[in-house]
Amino acid sequence: MKKVKVLIIWGYGINCETETAYAFKLCEADPEIVHLSEIFLGEKRIPDYQILCFPGGFLDGDHLGSAQACAHRFKFLKIKGKIPLWEEVLRFLDQGGLIIGICNGFQLLVKIGLLPGGKYLGQRKVTLTYNESGKFENRWVYLKVNNQSPCIFLKGLDELYLPVRHGEGNFIVRDQETLNELKKNHQIALQYIHPETKSPTLEYPFNPNGSQEAVAGLTDPTGRIFGLMPHPEAFNNWTNHPQWNRKKNKIAQGLYIFKNAVEWVKENIL
């Protein structure tokens, strides 16, 4: 059977590419780790794959403006001086491809303008900035899935427990009109919740960064583009769980997200 081809970007500070590829491989996909320079030089073409993944790490320094340089490349660079890279991305989407951005990859998606997408495609209407705590946050968080969201990656899921590792995860929307649009389309796909009330929360440390509306993950109106701050690839085996030897549930929840994407491509593209 033909396998789903996954393009996993790395380089310029991205450092979660190996475990992300491993997660996709566990879900029976065919992941390929490709340096950004290979894309920029036209040695590898985005439309040749079915899933495009921007992993976490420290892209472009991971400080205010992180992913900024890379976003400009994707918007304005011309491959071999001829083909706009942005057109390659749009061609990939026209073919039905899926895009996921994790942590720093989520930052890149919002700075490129792939999120929130829809009528805002190509525009920067939201951002991710410094954590309100003023420091890097490395902790596990409780998450609630919006079951009305069109997000393909979260299909059939309800609650998740995943780690965050970031200094800039504070989600902010440019204006009330944009926020209303996100709510209307159920694009707020994943939220930080309080472990006791199970409700979206702004309370620290359950909301580790102060994100507006407790946003931990955002999708576009089609559900095919998804960005999230938590690291699902970091929970690819039960022993990753901080209480792995005490809990009875032996499921690595992070794999659900990758499996949903792979299964969707098999059913709709291959």
pLDDT digits (tens, 9 = 90+) for 190-213: 999 999 999 999 999 999 999 999
pLDDT band at 67 (very low <50, low <70, confident <90, very high): confident
Does residue 263 have an active-site annotation? no
The mean pLDDT of 43-65, rounded to a whole number, is 90
Q: Catalytic: which of 16, 88, 233, 241?
A: 233
pLDDT at residue 57 greater than cutoff 70: yes
Does residue 231 have an active-site annotation? yes
Interval 208-257: pLDDT, tens: 999 999 999 999 999 999 999 999 999 999 999 998 888 777 889 999 99
**Superfamily per CATH, domain 5-268:** Class I glutamine amidotransferase (GATase) domain (3.40.50.880)
**Confidence at residue 64, expressed as pLDDT on a 0 to 100 scale:** 62
Domain borders along the chain are 5-268
**Confidence at residue 246, expressed as pLDDT on a 0 to 100 scale:** 83
Average pLDDT, the chain: 95
Global pTM reads 0.97
**Confidence at residue 256, expressed as pLDDT on a 0 to 100 scale:** 98
Interval 142-189: pLDDT, tens: 999 999 999 999 999 999 999 999 999 999 999 999 999 999 999 999
Does residue 87 have an active-site annotation? no
H/E/C letters for each residue in the chain?
CCCCEEEEEEECCECCHHHHHHHHHHCCCEEEEEEHHHHHCCCCCHHHCCEEEECCECHHHCCCCCCHHHHHHHHHCEECCCEEHHHHHHHHHHCCCEEEEECHHHHHHHHHCCCCCHHHCCCCCEEEECCCCCCCEEEEEEEEECCCCCCHHHCCCCEEEEEEEECCCEEEECCHHHHHHHHHCCCEEEEEECCCCCCECCCCCCCCCCCHHHEEEEECCCCCEEEECCCHHHCCCHHHCCCCCCCCCCCCCHHHHHHHHHHHHHHHCC
Q: Catalytic: which of 27, 103, 137, 241?
A: 103
